[in-house]
Amino acid sequence: MWKDKHVTFFITGGIAIYKVIDLIRSLQKKGAKVRVAMTKEAMRFVGKATFQTISGHPVQTDLFEQVTSSPVAHVELADWTELAIVAPATANIVGKMANGIADDFVSTTLLAVSTPVFVIPAMNNHMWQNPALQRNLNLLKQDDIQVMPPDDGPLAEGYSGKGRFPDTFAVLNFIETNLLEKNEQLQGLKHKRFLITAGGTRAYIDPVRYISNRSSGKMGYAFAQVARASGAEVTLISTTNQLPVPVGVHLISVETVTEMQQAVQQNFADADILIMAAAVSDYEPVQFVDHKIKKNSKTKQFTLELKETPDILKSLTAQKKKQIVVGFAAETDDLLQNAEAKLASKGADFIIANDVSRGDIGFNVSENAVTILQRQHANITIPKMSKQMIAKKVLEILAKRFS
Ligand SMILES: Cc1cc2nc3c(=O)[nH]c(=O)nc-3n(C[C@H](O)[C@H](O)[C@H](O)COP(=O)(O)O)c2cc1C
């Protein structure tokens, strides 16, 4: 979604300006190319040099100043822009945008932008409640400009109210959700019920020790976010509490294979699509010791006997009616042969094969590269890209089954 996307930040004079630095960094990490324009008032809070350094581009503030080779800088920047983000958006810029006022570089460039515009306002709660501001926000919405409501909470003035700039994750979630909702290839997923598992399960040895794996849960969370953004109802069964839960997703926290199996079983009948992105332990200790096992310095060895865990995927495909079931094959050797064997033996509709022997994709990183296997269809290979983009591509294939 963000790879090589031309994103322009229009920064105005609000106290929340420092939060935009983190937002820009996060988008750059996702692959976006960022340029910045700022108002003269914004420069009273944070200087141009900061945004020039993080964006790697000159920052223009004056309409008549020549900072690039283009003689008409505002039109050049507007034409370059594929997505505009006004953040923090002051009451002043909202008023200007709503009324077509173009009296400085930021407002003039915004008037020339013809691609999606997102406005992230932040201000004092009384300014936010002011009827003139609310009238202007409604005008923006009528013009198909997306406005993110601010958060409720402590304000710079020392009291609480609605007007805070939301955190980076929430802003990204808002923008990505809006962009995905408009994606026609995902329309078939609207109101579908997703059940998604994520993370590595834990097999407890005693109350303080467990066996697990390197799965971070990022792939499952990416599926949950994209599915939810496509208008689906999503239940996420997760072993991790390290990742932010996408807005609107229902979370069920579990730890062990048995807990995950019970949670999946309880929700499977109502689901349209099950995506088993969790890395489920294949083995667990034969016996759980109910106290901490002490070190035995005489033998200097410790043998742990393991037994197979229940096969969640296979047990569910046996009960499958209308559901589409997607399994994962995380392999270090013979990736495709193992994935084909899994497709044949587990009764899943799709197997997503990923090579977890590589350090740059798969477990515990933000990117992946996968091959999608499905019955009576040729394999589809998706090259290395963000887990969110992988999720989007897989969901586009699933959406075709419903259209
Ligand atoms: C310390 C301080 C903090 C301010 N914070 C905000 C703010 O958070 N939101 C806002 O809409 N205006 C805020 N203002 C007012 C704007 O800076 C002012 O309306 C300015 O004219 C906006 O210009 P611009 O929209 O061209 O950047 C603040 C002003 C000061 C002095």
- Strand 250-253 and strand 160-164: the pairing is unpaired
Ligand 1 site, CB within 6 A: 12-16, 39, 41-42, 90-93, 122-123, 127
Find tokens 């269809």 and name the residue. 377
Helices 105-112 and 73-80, packing angle to 10 deg? 50
Distance (angstroms) between ligand 1 centre and the Cα of 93 equals 10
Annotated active-site residue in 213, 338, 364, 368: 213
Per DSSP, the three-state class of 391 is helix
- The reported pLDDT for the residue numbered 9 is 98
Q: Is 173 a catalytic residue?
A: no
Q: Which residues contact 262 (CB under 8 A, 6 or more apart)?
A: none
Q: What is the chain's percent helix, strand, coil content, to nearest 5? A: 35, 25, 40
Q: What is the DSSP string of 44-63?
A: GTS-HHHHHHHHSS--B--T
Q: What is the DSSP string of 285-349?
A: ESS--SSPPPP-TTT------EEEPP-HHHHHHTT-SS-EEEEEEEESSSHHHHHHHHHHHH--S
For residues 258 and 281, what is the distance between their CA atoms, to the nearest angstrom? 10
Indicate the CATH number of 6-176 among 3.40.190.10, 2.60.120.10, 3.20.20.370, 3.40.50.1950.
3.40.50.1950
Compute CA distances 85 → 122, 161, 293, whole Å: 13, 24, 56
Which one of 20, 41, 104 would you pick to mutate in the ligand 1 pocket, going by the greatest count of ligand atoms within 8 A of its CB?
41
Distance (angstroms) between ligand 1 centre and the Cα of 90 equals 6
Radius of gyration of the chain (CA): 25
- The reported pLDDT for the residue numbered 362 is 67
Residue 234's Cβ-count burial label (10 Å; 0-12, 13-18, 19+) is: buried
Which one of 11, 15, 38, 127 would you pick to mutate in the ligand 1 pocket, going by the greatest count of ligand atoms within 8 A of its CB?
15
With beta carbons less than 8 A apart as the criterion, state whether 207 and 294 touch: no
Query: Does the annotation list 96 as a binding residue?
Result: no
| φ and ψ of 263, to 5 deg | -65, -40
Query: Does the annotation list 333 as a binding residue?
Result: no
Distance (angstroms) between ligand 1 centre and the Cα of 123 equals 8
**Among candidate residues 129, 98, 120, the one with its CA nearest the CA of residue 111:** 98
Indicate the CATH number of 185-400 among 3.40.50.620, 2.40.30.10, 3.40.50.10300, 3.90.1300.10.
3.40.50.10300
- Strand 33-38 and strand 83-89: the pairing is unpaired
Determine which residue's CA is closest to atom 4 belonging to ligand 1.
14
| φ and ψ of 396, to 5 deg | -65, -40
Query: Does the annotation list 328 as a binding residue?
Result: yes
| Other CB atoms within 10 A of residue 158 CB | 6
pLDDT tens per residue across all 403 residues of the chain: 788 999 999 999 999 999 999 999 999 998 999 999 999 999 999 999 999 999 999 999 999 987 778 889 999 999 999 999 999 999 999 999 999 999 999 999 999 999 999 999 999 999 999 999 999 999 999 999 999 999 998 888 888 899 999 999 899 988 988 888 778 888 899 999 999 999 999 999 999 999 999 899 999 999 999 999 888 999 999 999 999 898 889 999 999 999 999 999 999 999 999 999 999 999 999 999 999 998 877 888 889 999 999 999 989 988 989 899 999 998 888 888 999 998 988 889 999 998 877 777 667 777 788 999 998 889 999 888 778 888 999 999 999 888 6
With beta carbons less than 8 A apart as the criterion, state whether 370 and 352 touch: yes
Q: Which atom, in ligand 1's list, is nearest to the CA of 165?
A: 8
Distance (angstroms) between ligand 1 centre and the Cα of 13 equals 5
Distance (angstroms) between ligand 1 centre and the Cα of 121 equals 11
Q: Which two tokens stand for residue 159?
A: 């009291």
| Other CB atoms within 10 A of residue 183 CB | 17
- The reported pLDDT for the residue numbered 137 is 97
Determine which residue's CA is closest to atom 6 belonging to ligand 1.
14
Query: Does the annotation list 313 as a binding residue?
Result: yes
Distance (angstroms) between ligand 1 centre and the Cα of 35 equals 22
Q: Which two tokens stand for residue 328?
A: 């994962």
> What are the residue ranges of CATH 3.40.50.10300 in the chain?
185-400
Determine which residue's CA is closest to atom 18 belonging to ligand 1.
13
Determine which residue's CA is closest to atom 1 belonging to ligand 1.
15
Determine which residue's CA is closest to atom 14 belonging to ligand 1.
14
Which one of 92, 120, 151, 164 would you pick to mutate in the ligand 1 pocket, going by the greatest count of ligand atoms within 8 A of its CB?
92
* Amino acid at residue number 317: T
For residues 112 and 253, what is the distance between their CA atoms, to the nearest angstrom? 47
Compute CA distances 321 → 193, 232, 269, 283, whole Å: 14, 19, 8, 29
| Other CB atoms within 10 A of residue 298 CB | 5
- The reported pLDDT for the residue numbered 380 is 93
